[in-house]
Amino acid sequence: MPDAALTPDDIERAEAAFGPLAESLRTLVDLAIRSRVDDERAHRARALIEQAGAILSEQLSPDSPGVQPTTDGRTLTWGNVMIGVRNAIAPPLRVHRAANNSAAADLVLGTPYEGPPGLVHGGVCAMLLDHVLGATAHRPGSPAFTGTLTLRYVAPTPLGRLRVEAWVEREENGKTFSAGHILDAEGTVTVEAHGVFIRPRPRS
C-alpha cells in the first residue's frame, strides 16, 4: 500500500517529533566511536538501540523522503544527508542565502567527520562545498544539479568550528559558475572550490 500523501501539518508535526530524536542520535553516533566502556555495557547499549529501532519500525515508509508524496507538491528534504533535520548523518548544515545568491554556512564538525588524525576527511570537505556551491545555483522551483566540481586542498581542515562560503561568478545558458571555500576557526582558507551547476530546462 503506498503511503498517504503528507499534509503541511503532518510534515510540521513529524519534524517537531523526529528533529530532537535525530539530535540525540547525532550525539550517540559520536559516543559510539569514543566510548571505552566494557563489553557488557556495549552490549546493553546495543540492546537499547535495537529496542528504539523496533518502536520506530512499527510504522514505516518504504520510500526515501524525497520521493514521498506531499499534498502541496513539495520535495521533502528532512532526510537529506547534508541538511536533513531527521538525518543523523547531516550536521545538519544550515545554509543562509543572500539576495545576490551567495551562500554561507557555519558549522561545527566533531569526531564522526574525521579522516586523518584530528582533521576533517577530505571527502567531507568536498561534500560541504558541493552543497553550499550548489545552493548559489538553485532558483525558485528550479533546483540545480552539479555538473563539475573542482577542489583544491590548500591546508589541513581541523575538526571544530568551520565556515563555508560560496558565490556566483557568472551565469550563462542555465548554467551557474560558482566558487567558494572552507575557512577554519582562525579564518584560514583550507579548501577552495569551483563548480558548474546545471538547471534542467523546464519541459514544454
70, 97, 92: which is closest to 4 by C-alpha? 70
Q: What is the smallest separation between the CB atom of 116 and a copy of itself, expressed in angstroms?
A: 6
State which residue, 31 or 108, has the beta carbon closest to a copy of itself: 31
Q: What is the DSSP letter of 75?
A: P
Which residue do the cell numbers 577552495 mark?
Answer: 192
Contacts of residue 122, defined as CB under 8 A and 6 or more positions apart, other chains included, come to 115, 153, 157, 191
State which residue, 99 or 174, has the beta carbon closest to a copy of itself: 174
Q: What is the smallest separation between the CB atom of 141 and a copy of itself, expressed in angstroms?
A: 14
Q: What is the smallest separation between the CB atom of 76 and a copy of itself, expressed in angstroms?
A: 8
State which residue, 36 or 99, has the beta carbon closest to a copy of itself: 36
Q: What is the smallest separation between the CB atom of 35 and a copy of itself, expressed in angstroms?
A: 4
State which residue, 25 or 168, has the beta carbon closest to a copy of itself: 25
